[in-house]
Structure 1
Amino acid sequence: MSLDISTDPLPKILCVDDEPNILSSLRRLFRSKGYQVLTALGGQEGLAVLEEQPIDLVISDMRMPIMDGAAFLAQVRVRWPDTIRLLLTGYSDVQSIIDAINRGEIYRYITKPWDDNDIILVVRQALERKALEIEKKRLEELTHRQNEELKSLNASLEAKVEERTVALRAAHDSLLHVNEKLKNSFLTSIKVFSNVIEMRGGKLAGHSRRVADLARKIAKNMGLEAREIQEIFVAGLLADIGKIGFSDELLDTPVSQLSGDQLGVFHKHTIRAEQLLMPLEDLQGTAKMLRYQHERFDGRGFPDGLQGEAIPLGARILALASDYDNLQIGGLTAKRVHADDAQALIIHGAGNRYDEKVVAAFKHVFNGGIDEPEYQEIAAKNLLPGMILCADVISKEGLLLLPADHVLEPHVIERLMLYDVSGNGKLTVRIRTNRRK
C-alpha cells in the first residue's frame, strides 16, 4: 500500500487492483491531475485503507482473487455510502457487470484498456457531482435552521424578521441554483455516456442524439408536460444502451439481415437496457420506455407483445423516432432510405407498427408545427462570455464538446477557439438570441 500526503485539501482517490502495474499507471495518471492517490493490492487491503481515513472516490478492478470488485464495492456501499464507487473491468460478460452495478450501486463502470482522457473526465464529473450534493445538503440544513430560528422570533422584532427573510430568500435561490446545476450535470453525464455507446460503430455516430431530439419534438407537439418530455429525451439518448455488449458484426448488420440466433440476441437488448437502469431511481420511467421501445401498436412486437395504449406513450414515441433514423442510416435494411421515403414508410405504418396519434404529431413536426428557441449561428472566434448555447456543440467525430444551455465562460471560449484552429477555423455554434434562460 502506498500513500501520497499533501497539505492541500485535494480529493482522495483509492485505486484497488491485484496488478501492481495497473496501480502504477493509475497513480501516475491521477497524480498528474493533482489528486491524492492511495492504492491497495486487493479488496481486504482496500477496506483497511477506508477504515483509517475518509476517501472521496474508489476505483476497483472487477476480477481479483479472494474478494472480487463486486463484493468489495458492495461492502463499500454499506459501510461508506458517501464514497463514490467506480468499477474497472475487462469483462465481456454483460451480466457480470449488471450484477456488480446492482450490488455495489456503482456510479459508472470503465472498460479496460481505458482511455486516459475518458477516465479523467468520469472521475472529475463524479467528484463535481459529489461536491454539488454536499453543497445542496449544506444549504438545505441552513434553510431548515433559519426556518426554526424564524419561528422563535417575537412578533415585535419585525426588523429582525425582515433580515432573516432576506437571508432565507438568498439561501433558497442558491439551493435552486445548485439543484439546477445537478440536473444539468446529470443530463450532460447521460449525453457523454451516450457518446461512449456510439463510439462502438460508425452507424451509431449521432444516432442517439437525433432520435432523442425527434422524440422530444414529437412529445412537445403532443402537449406533454416538461417532465415527461425530458424523460422521453433521456430515453432517446439511452435507446441503444442495451447493445453495449453486442459484437461488432451484430452492430453492423441491418435488422432485416440478422440470422435467427442473432435476432434472439438482438431482441434481448431492450430487457438488458431496463436491467442496467434498475439501480437508478430517477430513471425508472426511462427504463420502462427502453424495455417497450420495440413493441408494435398492433401487438406483434417484443418483448411482451403489448398492444395499443398498454404500451407506455414514451415507448410509442421512441419506437417511431428510432425507426425513422434507422431507416436512413441502414440500421433496419441493407439499403439506406432517403428522408422523404422514410417519412412515407413511417406514415404508412400508422395503426399497425405505430400509434396513429404519434404519427400525426410526427407529421406536424415536419410541417413546421414546433416552436424552437430563436438562435443565431456564430463563429467560434466571435463568441463572448455570457452567451448561452442553444444546441449541443458536437465535434466532427460526432462527440459531445458542450451541452445545450451551457453558459460560455472565457476559458471555455479559449478551448473552443483552440479546437477551431485545429479544424481549419470552420466551427460555428448556435447561440440563443435571448441570453436569459
Structure 2
Amino acid sequence: MGAERDEGPIATVLLVDDEENILSSVRRVLRNERYRLIAATSGAMALELLEQHEVDLIVSDARMPGMDGATLLAQVQQRWPECLRILLTGYADITTTIKAINEGQIYRYISKPWDDDELRLIIRQALAFQYSERERQRLEQLTRAQNAHLQELNETLERRVSARTAELEETASMLDVAYAELRRSYVTATEVFANLVNQRFSKDRQTNAQVVALVKGYAEHYQLDERTSNNLAMAAALYNIGKLTWDDQLLARPSDLLFKEERTRYRKYPELGENLLMALEPVQDAGRLIRHHQERWDGHGFPDRLEGEAIPFGSRLLRLCVDFIELQRGMFLERRLNRDEALLLMKKYEGRLYDPKLCERFIELCTTLAPDLALADASITALDTRRLSAGMILARNLHATNGMLLLNEGKQLTLPLISKLIAFEASEGGSYTVFVRKPESDKTLQSYGAP
C-alpha cells in the first residue's frame, strides 16, 4: 500500500457480484474508507479489470452465473498471487467455500448477511497484513542485494581488505538490522491489529497493552527463546480478538456475573480468536496459545478441557497475565481487586486454575524480582488480623467477604479497632488479609509490635 498520505486512496479494492444491489451495499459500507473502489458484475469482467488495474484486494460473491466466486479467486491466486482474496458466502455455500479455501487460498470468507463493522474491520486487517507482507518482501530483497554485494567484495578480498574493512563492517551492521527488522515485522503487525481491536472496547476494558508488557517482562527476565517470546507477544496482543462479535452489554459485564446464554458465548471466544487468525500463517502458533489460554490446570477449563502439562506453556503463562490484569479491571468479579489482592487470589487457585510452579514464578516476578512490572509498592506488606498492631496504617481498602467496605485506606489501626476486626472475622468464619504500610524509618514492622 505504501506510505499513507493525507489525501488520495491507500488501496484499490475490486468488488465482484452479479447483483447490483449487493455491490451498492458494499460501496455504502466502504464509502468513508480511503479505498479506490471498482466493481464487476461477473467473473470474466473481473479478470478484465485485473488486467487493466493494479488491485490490492478482491471481494467476490460465491454464487454467480458462469464463473462462480471460488473459480474466480483460484484464477486470481494463480495470476495475481499478491492480490488478497475475500469470499462473500451464504450458509448454504459450504462446497464453494471449501473450494475457495483449497484452490483460491483465500484470506477470509465472510458469511451473508454480513455485519458492516466486521466487514470494514476485516478489510482493514487484510490490507494491514498485505502491507506487512510487502514490507517483509522488501527487506528480503534488500538482504539478497546486500549479500550479493558482500560476495563480490569477498572475491577480491586480498586486494581490497584494507580499503574495504570499514565498508564490510557497515554492511554487516545493515544486514543485522535488516534481519532483526524482518523478525520483528509480524510482531509489530499484531500490535497494529491490537490497536484496531481496542477500538471495540471501552477504555477500562483495553487490556492488551498491559498483558503484552507482562508477557514481555516475564520472557525477558526468564530468558525465553526468541520464537517463544514473539509468539507470546502476538498472542497477548490479540488474545481477546474473539470478543469482537459481542454486544456492548456482554462486553461490560464481569464474567462471574454472566447468565447461562452469555456464559456459553463467553466460553467460545478463545476458539473464535484462533479461527480468526487461522488464515495468517505467521500467527498460527500464537492463535494456538489464544485457543488454550482459558484451560485450567485441573482440566476443567475450555474449550478442550486440557489438563496439566498438556496445556501449552505459552497458554498457561498468558492466562496468568490476563487474569492478573482483568481482575484489577473488574472484568472477572463485580468488585475490582487491587494488585495485591489479585496476586493473593491467584496464589489461592494455583494447582486448580494455574500451573503451580509457573504461578509461583509469576508472583515472584511481580512482587520481588521485578516489582515495577506489577506496579508493586515495596513499603506495603500483607498480614493476617492477629499480626496487626496499633499504629499501623491501612494501605488498601478492607472489604468483608460479602464485599462490604470495612475500613478505608489510610486508616490508622488501634487496639480496640483490631479487636473488633478479629471478632467480626470470627463471626463470618473467614480469614482477612490486611495490607499495611511499612514505617518510613529503617525500623521493621516489629517497631509497631508485629511478631
Normalising by structure 1, what TM-score? 0.65
**Corresponding residue number in structure 2 for 1:384:** none
Structure 2: distance between partners of 1:77 and 1:165: 46
Which aligned pairs between 1:340-351 and structure 2 lie closer than 5 A? 340-351=340-351
Do the aligned residues in 1 keep the contact of 2:292 with 2:315 (CA within 8 Å)?
yes
Structure 2: distance between partners of 1:283 and 1:347: 31
Which aligned pairs between 1:62-211 and structure 2 lie closer than 5 A? 65-66=64-65, 72-83=72-83, 85=84, 87=86, 104-106=105-107, 113=116, 125=128, 128-143=131-146, 145-146=148-149, 149=152, 153=155, 158-159=159-160, 173-202=173-202, 205-211=205-211
Bigger shift: residues 197-206 or 350-359? 197-206
TM-superposition CA deviations, 1:132-156 (whole Å, max 9, x none): 23423433442454466567x478x
What is the total number of aligned residue pairs between the two structures? 354
Structure 2: distance between partners of 1:59 and 1:305: 39
**Corresponding residue number in structure 2 for 1:423:** none
Shift of 1:346: 0.7
Shift of 1:203: 6.9
Shift of 1:272: 2.2
Amino acid at match of 1:299: G
Do the aligned residues in 1 keep the contact of 2:107 with 2:279 (CA within 8 Å)?
no
Amino acid at match of 1:133: R
Relative contact order higher in (CA < 8 Å, ≥ 6 apart): 1
Between structure 1 and structure 2, the one with the greater Rg is: 2
Bigger shift: residues 241-250 or 164-173? 164-173
TM-superposition CA deviations, 1:155-210 (whole Å, max 9, x none): 8x623x77788776655544443444444443333123223333333276321222
**Corresponding residue number in structure 2 for 1:337:** 337
Shift of 1:23: 7.5
TM-superposition CA deviations, 1:199-258 (whole Å, max 9, x none): 333276321222222232233343322432232122111111222333434333332233
Measured at CA, do residues 347 and 71 of structure 1 come closer, stay the same or move farther in structure 2, by a change above 3 Å? farther
Bigger shift: residues 240-249 or 310-319? 240-249
Measured at CA, do residues 43 and 207 of structure 1 come closer, stay the same or move farther in structure 2, by a change above 3 Å? farther
TM-superposition CA deviations, 1:398-435 (whole Å, max 9, x none): xxxxxxxxxxxxxxxxxxxxxxxxxxxxxxxxxxxxxx
**Corresponding residue number in structure 2 for 1:243:** 243
Amino acid at match of 1:245: T
Measured at CA, do residues 21 and 171 of structure 1 come closer, stay the same or move farther in structure 2, by a change above 3 Å? farther
Shift of 1:302: 2.0
Structure 2 residue ranges without an equivalent (≥5) = 1-8, 374-451
**Corresponding residue number in structure 1 for 2:222:** 222
The residue matched to 1:237 in structure 2 has which SS? helix
The residue matched to 2:300 in structure 1 has which SS? coil
**Corresponding residue number in structure 2 for 1:57:** 56
Measured at CA, do residues 252 and 17 of structure 1 come closer, stay the same or move farther in structure 2, by a change above 3 Å? farther
Do the aligned residues in 1 keep the contact of 2:62 with 2:68 (CA within 8 Å)?
yes
The residue matched to 1:190 in structure 2 has which SS? helix
Shift of 1:309: 2.0
Amino acid at match of 2:200: R
**Corresponding residue number in structure 2 for 1:415:** none
Structure 1 residue 15 corresponds to structure 2 residue 33:
no
The residue matched to 1:335 in structure 2 has which SS? coil
**Corresponding residue number in structure 2 for 1:400:** none
Bigger shift: residues 312-321 or 104-113? 104-113
Do the aligned residues in 1 keep the contact of 2:88 with 2:109 (CA within 8 Å)?
no
Structure 2: distance between partners of 1:187 and 1:56: 26
Shift of 1:60: 1.7
Structure 2: distance between partners of 1:147 and 1:116: 46
Do the aligned residues in 2 keep the contact of 1:295 with 1:302 (CA within 8 Å)?
yes
Which aligned pairs between 1:266-415 and structure 2 lie closer than 5 A? 266-370=266-370
Shift of 1:25: 6.5
Amino acid at match of 1:15: L
The residue matched to 1:60 in structure 2 has which SS? strand
Which aligned pairs between 1:36-55 and structure 2 lie closer than 5 A? 38-50=38-50, 52-53=51-52, 55=54
Do the aligned residues in 2 keep the contact of 1:297 with 1:355 (CA within 8 Å)?
yes
Shift of 1:349: 1.0
Measured at CA, do residues 37 and 22 of structure 1 come closer, stay the same or move farther in structure 2, by a change above 3 Å? same
**Corresponding residue number in structure 2 for 1:5:** none
Normalising by structure 2, what TM-score? 0.63
Bigger shift: residues 220-229 or 177-186? 177-186
Do the aligned residues in 1 keep the contact of 2:87 with 2:108 (CA within 8 Å)?
no
Measured at CA, do residues 361 and 261 of structure 1 come closer, stay the same or move farther in structure 2, by a change above 3 Å? same
Structure 1: distance between partners of 2:207 and 2:30: 36
Amino acid at match of 1:158: R
Structure 1 residue 264 corresponds to structure 2 residue 264:
yes
Do the aligned residues in 2 keep the contact of 1:90 with 1:113 (CA within 8 Å)?
no
Amino acid at match of 2:46: G
Do the aligned residues in 1 keep the contact of 2:14 with 2:55 (CA within 8 Å)?
no
Bigger shift: residues 235-244 or 72-81? 72-81
The residue matched to 1:367 in structure 2 has which SS? helix
Amino acid at match of 2:290: L
| Aligned Cα root-mean-square deviation (Å) | 4.4
Measured at CA, do residues 27 and 307 of structure 1 come closer, stay the same or move farther in structure 2, by a change above 3 Å? closer
Do the aligned residues in 1 keep the contact of 2:308 with 2:355 (CA within 8 Å)?
yes
**Corresponding residue number in structure 2 for 1:389:** none
Measured at CA, do residues 43 and 179 of structure 1 come closer, stay the same or move farther in structure 2, by a change above 3 Å? farther
Do the aligned residues in 2 keep the contact of 1:292 with 1:312 (CA within 8 Å)?
yes
Structure 1: distance between partners of 2:119 and 2:257: 37
Residue identity over aligned pairs, in percent, reads: 28
Measured at CA, do residues 192 and 297 of structure 1 come closer, stay the same or move farther in structure 2, by a change above 3 Å? same
The residue matched to 2:57 in structure 1 has which SS? strand
Structure 1 residue ranges without an equivalent (≥5) = 1-9, 374-437
Do the aligned residues in 2 keep the contact of 1:15 with 1:23 (CA within 8 Å)?
no
Measured at CA, do residues 15 and 242 of structure 1 come closer, stay the same or move farther in structure 2, by a change above 3 Å? same
Do the aligned residues in 1 keep the contact of 2:16 with 2:42 (CA within 8 Å)?
yes
The residue matched to 2:331 in structure 1 has which SS? coil
